[in-house]
Amino acid sequence: MKTNGLALAVDLGASGGKLFVGELKDGKAEIYPVHKFKNKIVLAQGKAYWDFLRIFDEIKMGYAHAQREFDGRITSLAIDSWCNDYALLSEHGTMIGSPRNYRDSRTFGWVERSFGLMPQYEVYRRTGQQFQRFETSYHLLAEKEQDPDILGIAKELIFIPDYLAHLLGAKKYSEYTIASVSNLYNLVRNEWDREILDAYGLPQKIFMPIVYAGEKVGEIAKDVTDELQTPSAEIYAVGSHDTASAVVAAPAADDEEFLFISSGTWSLVGAELRHPIMTEESMRLGFGNEGGVMRRNRFICNVMGLWILQECVRMWNLQGKAYDFAGLAEEASKIVGCDMVFIDPDDERLFEPANMPEVVAQMIKEKGYTPRSDIEIVRIVTQSLACKYRYVVDNIEYLTGKKFPCLHIIGGGSQNVFLNQLTANYLHKPVKTGPADATGIGNILTQWIGRGILKDLKEAREICAASCDIRTYQPVGDEAFERHYQKFLKDIKKA
């Protein structure tokens, strides 16, 4: 194992961006946060966009700050982000418009409509993907119908993190993990699916060549270094899809298949498997197969996640209440009287930006209970999320025929003590949490593999386990929580 090799990870999420510098010292990864900024949906005339150029500017400023702080010793950089969203480029390489946000309402109804173009299982047996309205395929179908001129002049499509890397100086490409979740990529043939593109009437020429995590894709361009007055650095492809990068940092033994939740705005509940599962039953139960770093397979189901609480807190704070997540979770853990009240976190009404407290309160009232406070809303949402995790894990174990000994929760949501304990209680399994900054750490570890500083994924996970503070939650109160979970199942089946 070599040492040194300062690497900069750019980790973009739906609510903010973070930049980390990683350094390998004495067999441990030292991670230093160097820059962060807020990110949000920008609404204009009923359409949802990203403030894309501001994101790019924040990355440049963060890179300059990091190079100054570390005396110009940063020698590589990589970018990961949320999936599905893209930029369209003209024949001159100019971005056409501003990238739309995956929560944009234009995809409503397109999942079902697409089955008239190609039958559902025919798509699934090729792509292995879930059928979620935010996927790239449905945005392109909506774009073709609503703004046909845009696709008519587009010459290239590049996913958000790959395009940001290109603007810094990298070549144009689509990294494998983010391409694999577009519902346009054939996981069996390992290429863009020509038959799906033809069925959907989408131009094949706009899709970029595939590269894999660990590949060098360029260097910071001279125009950028001249602007910032910094030295250059190599640019590497990592798991461009942030979940792929996060799972690299799951402190599991590399020779085992394991359960995980990448917990943040979304809760990605899944298992890292050696091979995909692409049966009609896995499709019916809502599972997708996503390409992972070093060609691992993430068998996964999206759960709405902490987005619900984030939107509640955003609305409450607009009303002047000044809540914080940790304080709300702690207060919610103390209240009683609503511990058998549940909602389905994946209800369609919770997907788009809205007055979330009102939406959730209405859903709770439909279950015959009127929430008496904001804290009760937090309690009900949190226990409903924990129950949904149990539901998904039960289905994973059913489909794989395997009982997993524990669950790893990684990402920012791993800091929610109340949710972690409830999850252990409902699953009747130990829950191991951390690292919180799993995506940034996984990004850095993958750069080190690509640079030859680490040998492989096995060594990367050993480094991560030795470097991070991992906490274990043991399940308690099995009988009571099992009764509550059975009530949750009845409630969501009635919905």
Is the pLDDT assigned to residue 180 strictly greater than 80? yes
Q: What percent of the chain has pLDDT over 70?
A: 98
Characterize 19-37 residue by residue with b for buried, 16 or more Cβ atoms within 10 angstroms of its Cβ, and e for exposed. Answer: bbbbbbeeeebebeebbeb
Q: Which of 11, 80, 193, 242 is catalytic?
A: 242
Residue with tokens 């924040």: 58
Dist CA 73 CA 63 (whole Å) = 12
pLDDT in tens, 116-171: 999 999 999 999 999 999 999 999 999 999 999 999 999 999 999 999 999 999 99
pLDDT in tens, 66-118: 999 999 999 999 999 999 999 999 999 999 999 999 999 999 999 999 999 99
pLDDT in tens, 9-28: 999 998 899 999 999 998 89
User: What sign results for the dihedral spanned by CA atoms 51, 205, 111, 345?
Assistant: negative
- Enumerate residues 6+ apart whose C-beta is below 8 A from 412: 13, 263, 264, 306, 436, 437
pLDDT, averaged across the chain: 95
Dist CA 339 CA 117 (whole Å) = 45
Tell me the mean pLDDT in the region 219-240. 98
Q: What is the CA radius of gyration of the chain?
A: 22
pLDDT in tens, 381-390: 999 999 999 9
The pLDDT value recorded for residue 194 is: 98
Query: Does the annotation mark 162 as catalytic?
Result: no
Evaluate if pTM is beyond 0.75.
yes
Is the pLDDT assigned to residue 259 strictly greater than 80? yes
State CA 329 to chain mean position distance. 22
The pLDDT value recorded for residue 254 is: 64
Domains of the chain: 7-236 (3.30.420.40), 245-434+470-495 (3.30.420.40)
